[in-house]
Amino acid sequence: MERTKNMIFTSLFGALIFCATYFIKIQTPAFGYIHPGDGLVLLSGALLGPLYGGFAAGMGSMLSDLLGGYVTYAPATFVIKALCAVIFYCLIYVFPKRLNNHLSMLLSGIVAELFMCLSYFAYDVFLLSNTSGGSLSAAMAASVSDIPFNLIQGVFGVIIVSILYPLCHRILLTNGENRC
């Protein structure tokens, strides 16, 4: 019964992350887009744990890339977003021992989203250096333009999870669930 419940919640979160990433987006001049999906990526880690939450985060985000025309980013997105959920999960349960819950949530989200920004920067450099004749400095210079937009997306992700997590936590506790 518990395994079925976890699979259902994982599928549900994967679908929510896909929808928030694919349908609600603002195109950027750097040929990417900003979306609220990162808030749900973090929330999936917090509510579903590292295994199920990470899988939901990676799968939902990757499907958005596959269907949205960003196929070259799909493998990296799966890994990066899954790890963001795992990092967030791990940190929100480490920081509370030293900090209050709100500050813990903010710091955990910031660390996870900085990981996302740095990981996409590294992946962009990898992609561009392999397509631009191997010039690492040119690839790094071109990849820098995505950083501000990823940071903006990360900030919104932290704000979204900071609002949704306390609400979900309260609802789950009232219903007798012990998922978070």
5-46 pLDDT, tens digit per residue, is: 999 999 999 999 999 999 999 998 877 889 999 999 999 999
Of 46, 38, 56, 153, nearest in space to 95 by CA: 46
Give me the CATH code for the 2-23+35-174 domain, please. Answer: 1.10.1760.20
Provide the whole-model pTM.
Answer: 0.91
CA distance 136 to 164: 40
Average pLDDT over residues 123-128: 93
Average pLDDT over residues 154-158: 96
Average pLDDT over residues 118-143: 87
Of 76, 27, 20, nearest in space to 43 by CA: 20
139: pLDDT confidence band, cut at 50, 70 and 90? confident
Q: Provide φ and ψ at 29, rounded to 5°.
A: -65, -20
Q: Note the pLDDT of residue 79.
A: 98
- Encoded tokens for 77: 């997105």
Domain extent listing, the chain: 2-23+35-174
Average pLDDT over residues 76-91: 97
What SS3 state is found at 29? coil
Average pLDDT over residues 125-132: 86
Average pLDDT over residues 70-88: 97
Q: pLDDT tens across 97-108, in order?
A: 666 778 888 999
Among 55-64, 91-100, 170-179, the minimum mean pLDDT is found in: 170-179
CA distance 40 to 156: 11
Q: Provide φ and ψ at 34, rounded to 5°.
A: -105, 135
Average pLDDT, rounded, for the chain: 90
Q: Is the pLDDT of residue 152 over 60?
A: yes
Q: Note the pLDDT of residue 132.
A: 66
